[in-house]
Chain A
């Protein structure tokens, strides 16, 4: 898709033409990255030195590692032209199941990882089958999936509780120290900057997904199916199987993300990750993934998550009422990016018409 666009646009000079020559994926991606850096620089300038500390940035990563993984899965499904709103519910269910297993049954951590993956995979397989092979709208299927996961969470255990498993706690407290990036606190003690294990997992997921979408045959077929299902079919791509695989991978990533979330919070509760699906969708959109399918980039999604959480940090450090203002600022940002997408889409249509 990107290549045809480059050929189609007239060769020109200057920055504006360069932007026009860039494919839509790259254009949306660069907008996201620019907005993120502007926002972060703005935060440093107006909010003081808090944002200058590397640890502030690492904390954003620590708090949102799970969201990054969920958003990657969601981007994949959205690139293929579908949607999945069950990931938040799956995350809550996984947290609860793992917590119950570790605490009541005294099991080991490795098995709990397997439980998490199995739950995610089961949801992915079932939803993928319904969407791809029975041709049911993904929104309704995953809506039911969300309902089911949330309800099951309460059925598994009603009350929220903290996990007291020693091995798990040790894993939860494991911190990877970033050399040379620490800072001196008010008492004059040097504190190392750190990231949690979840962040490493998240970055690995981003890299793997990026490579998958960029260079493998399967990855390109996701774009093809999302861009135009008919022509993908003509090209000999197994459309149904591609859709199915996209949902399975999304489910698997929800499994990984669910465990990373659990590792971060260390407790089970029915209200965990509420609204995570909407945050993940919003991050994907801000990261330049088109809802119509066929356009998107995992790196953009990564920056989308960072942008959203930077807004949250700015709101809380500005002393505003966090819960309410975060909602409003996020919505404004989402609105802005949706309108940008819509404008880009109509511009592209015009360009295509001219080239004909």
Chain B
């Protein structure tokens, strides 16, 4: 009898542990989406090997689409998680910053001519330049937040307003087009490899940030600053510097996303590129169960969150929802999520279950 009870208790403990785990909410959402898709149409999960226009083998299917187009979001979610944790706010300028990074990349590749026959500079050089520029803009945001003590959302509002204009100004408001096929490798397929390149890039970014968080003190410093700025200062940290660092890392992520985005279409459209991606990135962080007011964070949960959002987007597309109407559905998901995870609601429910138990015992 007693043994049975302890086993039962262990089971419930295990269950509670799983439910309490931060990855639970995004994984549960993912599972829900998978089930919905299985019921609606199992063909959703079909992956076929075909050949693209250039005659190279490519995999296609909704799952591949999700992995492919979720890459940008996953990469941005990495930076956004760090910024959220360190500063307790979000960067809403990432979409505009992606436009700038992409514009710089194209400017370096094209030189003065907007339709070059050959590349004017090696791609790696152009990428490094765009990295530096994106990190500088990240540092600009970071300095406003850390040294001028402006709320992150408002400080990044500046770049949000100006970013796309700056991007257009960098290329004299022209729309450069790259004809070199090797530039397409980063956003589409490398010949002979059937998996889209952005998937590899995203995987590389995830691995790098995993190693960085494991090896360096970045995680603990960021969390310390996010939880209590004054006490982290008293412990010998420099909170301002760490906040700026978080924004600079986000800048680096932005540059990588810029490369992928620009490479996908070999060109740029200043007002459309990475539109509304900032909202999705913030959503990914929130979906991962990270407190948007800063402090502790779970990088894995954020990254899973990013792919869940892409899964949701692709599912909605498959059900023929118009791209402009997507936000309405996403909004419903967000509201349900935040309401369920709100402390007041949780408290209410735990009180409610306690009452239920009590009434049972009394009976």
Contact = CB atoms under 8 A, between A and B. Distances in A.
A276 to B, nearest CB: 13
B357 interface: no
Given A136-B338, A143-B282, A151 B326 contact: yes
Interface residues of A, number: 48
A310 to B, nearest CB: 16
Interface string A322-337: 0111111011101100
Interface stretch (A162-170, A189-197, A227-235, A278-286): A278-286
A119 B256 CA distance: 41
A281 B327 contact: no
B327 A331 contact: no
Interface string B56-75: 00000000000000000000
A155 B328 contact: yes
B151 A291 contact: yes
A141 B151 contact: no
Contacts of B149: 342, 345-346
B345 interface: yes
A278 B324 contact: no
Nearest to A324: B165
B240 to A, nearest CB: 13
Nearest to A133: B344
B293 interface: yes
A143 B148 contact: no
Contacts of A328: 162, 165-166, 169
B329 interface: yes
A120 to B, nearest CB: 17
Interface residues of B, number: 44
A147 B328 contact: yes
B137 to A, nearest CB: 12
Contacts of B327: 146-148, 150-151
A331 B159 contact: yes
Interface in B7-25: none
Contact of A147 (B157, B168, B334, B345): B334
Interface string A145-186: 111101111110010000000000000000000000000000
B90 interface: yes
Nearest to B338: A136
Contacts of A155: 325, 328
Nearest to A153: B324
A133 B339 CA distance: 11
Interface string A49-88: 0000000000000000000000000000000000100000
B2 interface: no
Interface in B303-332: 322, 324-332
A323 B167 CA distance: 13
A148 B169 contact: no
B328 A150 contact: yes
Given A137-B292, A147-B279, A328-B169, A285 B328 contact: no
B107 interface: no
Nearest to A285: B154
Nearest to A156: B325
A239 B168 CA distance: 46
A341 B151 CA distance: 12
Contacts of B292: 137, 139-140
B91 to A, nearest CB: 12
A139 B153 CA distance: 9
A39 interface: no
B231 interface: no
Contact of B328 (A136, A139, A151, A326): A151
Contacts of A342: 148-150
A314 interface: no
B345 A151 contact: no
Find the residue from B157, B166, B332 having the highest chain A CB count within 10 A.
B157
B40 interface: no
B322 A158 contact: yes
B165 A327 contact: yes
B279 A143 contact: yes
Nearest to A341: B150
Contacts of B155: 338
A63 B198 CA distance: 45
Contacts of A130: 335, 338-339
7 contacts: A136-B339, A136-B342, A143-B279, A147-B334, A151-B325, A151-B330, A327-B164
Interface of A: 83, 130, 133-137, 139-141, 143-148, 150-155, 158, 270, 278, 281-282, 285, 291-292, 321, 323-328, 330-332, 334-335, 338-339, 341-342, 345-346
Q: Which 10 A-B pairs have the closest CB atoms?
A: A151-B328, A331-B162, A148-B331, A327-B165, A147-B331, A147-B327, A154-B324, A151-B327, A342-B148, A324-B165
Given A135-B343, A338-B155, 17 more contacts: A130-B339, A134-B345, A135-B342, A136-B342, A140-B286, A140-B338, A147-B330, A147-B331, A151-B330, A158-B324, A292-B151, A327-B164, A328-B166, A331-B162, A338-B144, A338-B150, A342-B149
